[in-house]
Amino acid sequence: MAAMTQSPSPNRARSGSILAADFGNVHTRAVLIDVVDGIYRLVARAEAHTTSGFPVDDVSVGFRHVVEQISAATGRNFLDTADALITPERSDRVGVDTFIVTASTGRPLRTVLVGLVPEISIASGMRAVSGTYVQVVETLSLADLRSEEQQLNALLLSRPDLIFVTGGTEAGAQEPVLALARTVRLAVTLLRLGHKPTVLYAGNSALVPAIRNMFDGLTTLFVAPNVRPALDNEELEAAQLQLALAFDERSSGRGSGFEGLSAVSRLGVLPTAQSYALVVDYLGRTLGGGGRGSVLAVDVGSAVSTLAASVNRQLSTSIRTDIGLGHSAHNLLEVVGEEAVRRWLPFYASSSQIHEYALNKSLRPSTVPEALRDLYFEHALLRAGIEAMVQASRPAWNDSLGNVLGDVLPPFRLVILAGGALTGTGHAAYNAMLLLDALQPVGMTVLQSDPYGLIGALGALAHVNQEAVVQVLDGGGLERLGVAFSVSGTPKAGRDAMHIKITTEDKETVKHTVEGGHLWVFPLAPGRSARVEISAGRGLNIGGQRSLKLTLQGGTAGLIFDGRGRPLRVAADIRARAAQMTQWVHEVTGDPIREIDERWLTPPTVAVEKPVPVAAPQAEAPKQEAKAAKRGRGKGKDKDDNKPQTGSLKDLSQKPAVRNDDDMMDDLRDVLS
């Protein structure tokens, strides 16, 4: 993807009104962008439930709901009598000039990566797909020691939606790439019509004619310039665009109304995650380098979560199809483990209680917590999921700054919160506290929120009109939560962590001391500014500095002063943790402390069952595992279950692929998403 610039091309035609729709697994969001006083502005926004699943199975119904909301807010009509979108905009201001669609709904594309060397072409392919909703289910390279028959078996049993072929530098190896491509072609030939994967080739460009001859007429083929034209040169942008087109092709083929929207959209259906990468890259370049201009966007969705970061002007994107608070809730639990969730629970919770909550969320992803206990479960999963994504991304961030960070986060100057879990609690400061808990930023951090999916729209719009993207971002299109100040070190309870002096525009002076282990929020409203002076307590610092003096603006959450230290220490004792976490909520929201029920603080009684004699020495599954198996999520697999099964080519072409637990979950996601 090309980097955005602040000066548009002089011959670029203005696209006028722009309607962008983003389809998530739970919510459909739409924004209207138009020219106001000569500048592109966010004019209206709307949200409704996504209608891709049972019983509607048509996303256009939810789309019509959000368009009707925008029509009511603006007094303009966008649909004709047949509920079709009117484009381009007419002289009477009916319709829109540009329509853009992004989506993260449905399961990710099951993808096979094919390349010559794992450390070179496969690695480049992996980085290329990092901005698209894919699940890499198999890799094939020259380092693969399996026989050709075993490789073919693995390709067929992986049931891919996409096969991404890379390999060979320009003027480099040809025959090894062709040999791998022939194996791919044989696998595609053996798969039934309607189940044939899309093929994307981004290897040695000299082989493009031969690759076209192999796959034309057999399956859909996309071709991109070489992702690794030289050993020391990696070019991913063109391949990422072709991946977006492949995503559009698959999305349209799945039905659920996407085919009609894709036909009207200027760019088809693009993956939402690519938008995060583009917008974060632009903001990182705008704020400057040296680490101080680092930008992070965190989006926790129902089935997919995205972490996009620009560190020292180097972009890294992580898309996790196994982390989410709805469809992927139980997958999230399997990734992070029970203890990572318990760390954020202010009460005792058994293994079965944690798994039951996660499974219920996977089956009913659109439900929201109604009881206090459920709310803590929800946000414990949220914090643990973000922590896992951050931990996985640390090596890339550290490399960007020359391996000087260690276990400390880069000094993110701007952090953007997205997704209903992080933006929809109903209290801006509580949203911010959830992010501070999970991310643990250091120093001063500006916090922004994207509750209506504007980033998805802007990233896609950048392919059409970069001028509009820059003007909307500069015009405050994202909601400003405020500014957080976090001390590093280990503040002692009862000792001063921060001394604060705030002078408002009205010349009012407020002095406050934040003790170790506590938070304080000063309500500085959006558009208002204040002079802030902060000094850290003994042995502490704020982003490496003992004191700060600066003038800044507030936000919907205000100014947040975090005196809990870095790394953040959550109490190990359950009663101490209950007092600690309820106090934090009180400090950021101002609500009365809601004490934890005494019954929840008592360890559950575990009944010891007497062994039951059996007639034969037959292994019996543990009780919890049997319950999980009953729900179709049994963990008692043999290690050999994951190994590719071998057999004759005749058997492979005649027998259906073996279905496993992952297949069942894919089907369940299709139904629920």
Tell me the per-residue pLDDT of 385-435, one tens digit each, with 9 for 90 and over.
999 999 988 887 877 666 555 667 888 999 999 998 999 899 999 999 999
Measure CA 590 to chain center: 30
For the chain, give the longest Cα–Cα distance. 85
Which residue's entry shows tokens 């085919």? 259
Which neighbouring-strand residues pair with 18?
A: 33, 98
- Residue 390 placed within a domain: no
495 lies in some domain: no
φ and ψ of 423, to 5 deg: -120, -5
Residue closest to 588 by CA, chosen among 484, 501, 511: 484
pLDDT at 89: 93
Domain contains 663: no
Whether 345 has a pLDDT exceeding 80, the answer reads: yes
The total domain count for the chain is 1
DSSP category for residue 659: P
Of the listed ranges 497-501, 586-590, 626-630, the one predicted with least confidence = 626-630
Looking at the domain assignment, is residue 118 inside a domain? yes
pLDDT bracket for residue 180 (50, 70, 90): very high
Q: Mean of the pLDDT values across residues 335-356? A: 96
Q: Domain holding 186: CATH number? A: 3.40.50.2300
- Residue 199 domain flag: yes
Residue 271 lies in a domain: no
Range(s) of the domain holding residue 198: 109-253
Q: How far is CA 263 from CA 82, 114, 273, 344, in A?
A: 16, 31, 21, 46
244 part of a folded domain:
yes
The residue type found at 484 is: A
- Reported as a single tens digit per residue, the pLDDT across 182-215 is 999 999 999 887 789 999 999 999 999 999 999 9
**Does the structure show a pLDDT above 50 at 442?**
yes
Tell which wins on pLDDT, 664 or 457: 457
pTM listed for this prediction:
0.80
- Say if 399 falls within a structural domain: no
CA angle 562, 563, 565 (to 5 degrees): 100
Size of the chain, expressed as the number of residues it contains: 673
**What number is the average pLDDT over the span 495-520?**
97
pLDDT in tens, 32-79: 999 999 999 999 999 999 998 778 889 999 999 999 999 999 999 999
pLDDT, residue 254, reads 61
